[in-house]
Amino acid sequence: MSDRLVYVCDGGDCSEKGSVELFEKLRNRLAEVDPGEEKARVRKYPCFGGCEHGINLTVWPDRVFYSKVKEDDLDEIVDHVEKNAPPLERLCGIVKKDVEDIIWEMLDSPY
């Protein structure tokens, strides 16, 4: 079982900013360092509700909500999820807290 689940937004606004390509690149990078997905799995997510700040990506169960993610950030995100490096503060706290809280409530729920 993976320690972490990384969700990349697949919604319309984030897709327009390149989230589908970003998802593929992140998945490939994670597969290079963690082929069995033992430390982290990456999945798509329909929309986090912070559309104007995309590309959005979350790391669960850390409760880290990254916004305005670009391809250049992926190395550091891989270090975070695979090597327990500290979260990238510059990408955190951009969406409103109540938007984040709704997402954590949903992701924390087993259903």
**Contact positions toward ligand FES, by CB under 6 A?**
9, 11-14, 47-51, 54, 56
Residue whose CB is less far from ligand FES, 23 or 48? 48
Query: Which element (helix H / strand E) includes 66?
Result: strand 64-66
Alpha-carbon gap, residue 92 to 90, rounded angstroms? 6
Listing from the earlier edge strand, what are the strands of the sheet with 57-60?
40-45, 4-9, 57-60, 64-66
Instruction: Name the nearest CA neighbour of 18 among 70, 88, 67.
Output: 70
Least distance to ligand FES, CB of residue 84, Å: 26
**Residue whose C-beta lies closest to ligand FES:** 11
How is residue 85 annotated by DSSP? P
Least distance to ligand FES, CB of residue 39, Å: 25
Residue whose CB is less far from ligand FES, 58 or 82? 58
Least distance to ligand FES, CB of residue 67, Å: 9
Least distance to ligand FES, CB of residue 55, Å: 7
